[in-house]
């Protein structure tokens, strides 16, 4: 079945090329121009994914996320302006799945949409793989063993938990607050320094060149993203 995308965007030119791109990828779609209409259409049409512009004429796009998240976990990919890190974090913390900063290339947007759809399909079937491979790394959560290029690597419990959370959200940005909350608990959401140190340690153990990470990527000012499919681009 063709995935159904709800596009909430007020700018006609952007809608125009999104339409073209989505049609070329064989997606079905519907367009909404305002926040109000977007929330209503999301409820009425139950799309597989929402593509949301944050700058809408009637209300803040963040309210659309808040509205939808009250009753649905459908993936939401946000279109935001560059440099608006605060908006991005707010959108992600409210439950958006990912964001693409304008101006963006269509290829990048489609990749994010695909990743979000994959994640939601995985959640729906509840079939989280117990063995995950990315780059040189193989993570087996059942055996709690991590190997890099076939060699067992020892992770501390917190490092392991951090990797687990990143893998759970693989492909999407996870804000620092979300990571701290999921790994260390809700009392520690402000201690982002710890998080950075742990990510740095994890990179040293898993990445070939920790200063040029292939998988444990930083989204400056926002959070981290674990990219599983970077290997394809590499080789």
Partner 1 sequence: MADTTELQIRDGSPADLAEAAELKATRSGSRASWREFAAAVIIVGFATLIALALRPYLAATNLAMVYLLGVVAVATRCNRPASVMASFLSVAAFDFFCVPPYLTLQVSEYEYLITFAGMLVVALVISAQTSRIRAQAARAVERESRTQALYRLSRRLSTKTRVFDTALAAAEVAEEVFGAPVTIFLPEEGRISFRKRTSDQLLISTAEEKIAQQVFDRGRKAGKGMENFPEAAATYVPLKGAGRMVGVLAILPGTHGQALHDDQHHLLDLFANQTALAIERTQSQNAAADARMQMETEEMRSSLLSAVSHDLRTPLASITGAASTLRSQGEKLEPAVRDELLESISEEALRLSRLVGNLLDMTRLESGMELRRDLYPLEEIVGAALQRMEPQLAGREVTATVPEDLPLVNVDDVLLGQVLVNLLENAAKYSPPGSAIEIAATATPAAVQLEVRDHGRGFAEGEEKRLFEKFYRGKSEGVRGAGLGLAICRAIVMAHRGTIEALHRDGGGAIFRIRLPLDGRPL
- Chain contacts with partner 1 (rule: CB under 8 A): 82-83, 85, 103, 105, 192-193, 196-197, 199-200, 203-204, 209-213, 217-221
Tokens matching residue 182? 């999921």
Q: Contact, 140 vs 150, CB < 8 A?
A: no
Quote the least distance from Cβ 204 to partner 1, whole Å.
7
Q: For partner 1, which is the closer residue by CB, 126 or 209?
A: 209
Tokens matching residue 140? 């087996």
Residues pairing with 132 in the sheet:
139
Strand order in the sheet with 173-175: 173-175, 223-226, 216-219
Residues pairing with 79 in the sheet:
53, 100
Q: For partner 1, which is the closer residue by CB, 15 or 214?
A: 214
Quote the least distance from Cβ 86 to partner 1, whole Å.
9
Quote the least distance from Cβ 65 to partner 1, whole Å.
22
Q: For partner 1, which is the closer residue by CB, 44 or 194?
A: 194
Quote the least distance from Cβ 144 to partner 1, whole Å.
26
Q: For partner 1, which is the closer residue by CB, 147 or 218?
A: 218
Q: For partner 1, which is the closer residue by CB, 31 or 207?
A: 207
Quote the least distance from Cβ 30 to partner 1, whole Å.
28
Backbone angles phi, psi at 64, to 5 degrees: -65, -45
Q: For partner 1, which is the closer residue by CB, 75 or 223?
A: 223
Quote the least distance from Cβ 198 to partner 1, whole Å.
11
């Amino acid at each position: 079945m063709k995935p159904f995308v709800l596009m909430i965007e007020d700018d006609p030119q952007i809608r125009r090329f999104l339409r073209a791109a989505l049609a070329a990828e064989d997606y079905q779609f519907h367009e909404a121009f305002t926040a109000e209409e977007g929330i209503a259409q999301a409820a009425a049409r139950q799309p597989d994914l929402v593509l949301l512009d944050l700058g809408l004429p009637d209300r803040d796009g963040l309210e659309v996320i808040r509205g939808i998240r009250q009753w649905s976990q459908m993936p939401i990919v946000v279109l935001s302006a560059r440099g608006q890190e605060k908006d991005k974090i707010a959108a992600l913390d409210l439950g958006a799945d990912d964001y693409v900063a304008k101006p963006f290339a269509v290829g990048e947007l489609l990749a994010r949409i695909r990743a979000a759809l994959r994640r939601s399909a995985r959640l729906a079937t509840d079939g989280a793989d117990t063995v995950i491979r990315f780059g040189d790394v193989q993570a087996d959560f059942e055996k709690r063993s991590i190997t890099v290029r076939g060699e067992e690597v020892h992770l501390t419990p917190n490092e392991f938990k951090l990797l687990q959370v990143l893998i759970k959200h693989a492909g999407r940005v996870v804000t620092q607050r979300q990571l701290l909350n999921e790994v260390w608990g809700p009392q520690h959401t402000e201690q982002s320094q710890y998080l950075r140190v742990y990510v740095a340690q994890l990179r040293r153990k898993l990445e070939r060149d920790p200063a040029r990470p292939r998988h444990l990527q930083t989204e400056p000012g926002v959070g981290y993203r674990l990219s599983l499919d970077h290997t394809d681009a590499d080789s």
